[in-house]
Amino acid sequence: MSELERPELAGKSVLVVDDDADSREMIAAVLERSGAVVSMAESAPEALAAFQRKRPNVVLLDLGLPDEDGFSLLRRLRESPGGGGADVVPAIALTGYGSPEDRDQTRRAGFQAHLVKPIGLSDMLDCVVKLLRSRSGPSHL
């Protein structure tokens, strides 16, 4: 097995939201290689529609979208039907900013993780797997 394969992702639904086509497609390809079912969106309206079509297990969300920032979009996803409540979909912030203040801001906004671009693909996969494990109980952390 290569460092970019995570069998734990097989069949898991992941929504990747990024306005940069190359980043979006690279992230999706790596996730799909591990068996994840990936939906992609390049804008807030596309992300909302994809979220409603199939509620993902995890969302990877670029904070710097041109039509709406990722903080606002995360709020809207969580406020949408099936997006909130006790079973909140975990979200990973994708951003070019990585200071402690930036990380605190994403945490306060409701993101469960913060990855700085350019992201390490192996680190990204580890992060997604960790969030999925945490959804099945604290004994898996």
Report which secondary-structure segment, H or E, holds 35.
none
Rounded CA gap, 81 and 11, in Å? Answer: 23
Q: What is the pTM of this model?
A: 0.92
CA neighbor of 95 nearest in space, from 109, 111, 110, 116 = 116
**What does the domain layout of the chain look like in residue ranges?**
11-119
Best CATH choice for the domain 11-119 from the list 1.20.5.510, 2.40.50.140, 3.90.1150.10, 3.40.50.2300: 3.40.50.2300
> Is the pLDDT score of 70 beyond 80?
yes
pLDDT in tens, 103-139: 999 999 999 999 999 999 999 999 999 999 987 543 3
pLDDT score for 139:
32
- The band of 86, judged by pLDDT with boundaries at 50, 70 and 90, is low
Q: How far is CA 113 from CA 2, 59, 116, 132, in A?
A: 24, 10, 10, 12
